[in-house]
Amino acid sequence: MNDVNSGGGDTGLESNNTGTTTTITGRQLIHEDVDDDYYVPYSLRTDPLWADVTPLPQDDGEFTIARISYAPEFVEVYDYMRAVLKSEEVSERALDLTEKAARLNPANYTVWFYRRKLIRELQADLKKELLLLDDLIEMHPKNYQVWFHRQKIIDMRQNAKGELKFVQSMLDEDPKNYHAWQYRQWLIKTFSLWEGELHYVQKLLEEDVRNNSAWNQRYFVITHTTDYTEGVRAKEVMYTLASIDMDIYNESAWNYLRGITQTLDNVYSYKLGEPYNSAMLERMRALLQHEGAPDKQLSPYLCMYAFTCFEDYLRNKDENLSSDEKEAIIKKELEPILIKLETKDDIVRKNYWKFIRLKLNKEFVLA
């Protein structure tokens, strides 16, 4: 191994020239094939700005089973980071250090928490902070801490101008980025940015009807604006059934339908308009008959929703169904479908379908 100090001046790092380990501030770091280009010559240890700070090494304990092979730059930055945290220093150099630490590990909550403290006390430029976050979120779009920090910065600014556009740019890259959606919901709710959001969701669903995040956002927007009044629910039910007609295996649409009808007393009798002109139960019956054909593979999501309708129907005393009528529905309509699911179309959930079949027989046939 070459001496890591060669060509780089006095970095405060010592090499034991064994080819396997390098002693850094009294600690052993294991890495392979270290050469002259492995470590950036610049070091905080040679920077006069940090001359008064003694770096604080990470304490891994006396006996470490699996020592992590940190890069030298990472070790140095975090040794100084621990020293700054211990002294609770509030300074521009500490703020700069937190940026270095965050870039090395953007998932470190403590670094971001301390950075926010410094930003508040130093009254740092929040616009500049957003530029940093633009960069980091672009590199780490699935990192919770960078999105949470952005939320806190916007909360400090109390100005969300341009933020929805930024989130949209990230969703263009990944329409199902959970962190981006979570942040978007916070923005909309906090700054009342509801206008146009349903149209945006509609556009996403037209591009991908299986986008579960867009269905979830649709529910979020309507719940917090018009809510599901009788008229709104009627339109949403018809919209969802039309989406299901395009793809009956779309779990997201079925979940949405369940969500917007779950508060209805008798969902099976819910009246549907054009083009169905029937009760919900009859629509489910028609779908089951069509999808239950020998050459078709049953949609488990259709069946889950349909069986809920049938159970409500069979339990409703107002329907005055006789025991024979209930048994006929179970044996002729539902049981063949359940057996098909158990044995062929949805074997991964066969125990669930068996449970439903036995439960229906126990409650309505053997009772």
* DSSP-based three-state secondary structure for 135: helix
Spatial distance between the Cα atoms of 19 and 10, rounded to a whole number of angstroms: 20
CB count, 10 Å around CB of 84? 23
Start-to-end CA span in the chain (Å): 82
**Are 56 and 82 contacting, i.e. CB atoms less than 8 angstroms apart?**
yes
Spatial distance between the Cα atoms of 178 and 193, rounded to a whole number of angstroms: 19
Length of the chain: 367
Angle between helices 178-191 and 144-157 (to 10 degrees): 10
86 is a catalytic site residue = no
- 146's enclosing H/E stretch is helix 144-157
- 29's enclosing H/E stretch is strand 27-30
Question: What's the distance, CA 213 to chain centroid?
Answer: 9
Q: Quick one: DSSP state of residue 52?
A: T
**Taking Cα atoms as reference points, which of 299, 297, 319, 295 lies closest to residue 307?**
299
**Are 284 and 331 contacting, i.e. CB atoms less than 8 angstroms apart?**
no
User: What single string gives the DSSP state of each residue in 209-254?
Assistant: TT-HHHHHHHHHHHHHTT-S-HHHHHHHHHHHHHHHHH-TT-HHHH
Q: What does the angle CA 199 – CA 205 – CA 207 come to, to the nearest 5 degrees?
A: 110
Question: What's the distance, CA 6 to chain centroid?
Answer: 47
Question: What's the distance, CA 48 to chain centroid?
Answer: 44
Catalytic choice (142, 203, 271, 331): 142
Spatial distance between the Cα atoms of 48 and 41, rounded to a whole number of angstroms: 15
Q: Which residues are identified as catalytic?
A: 142
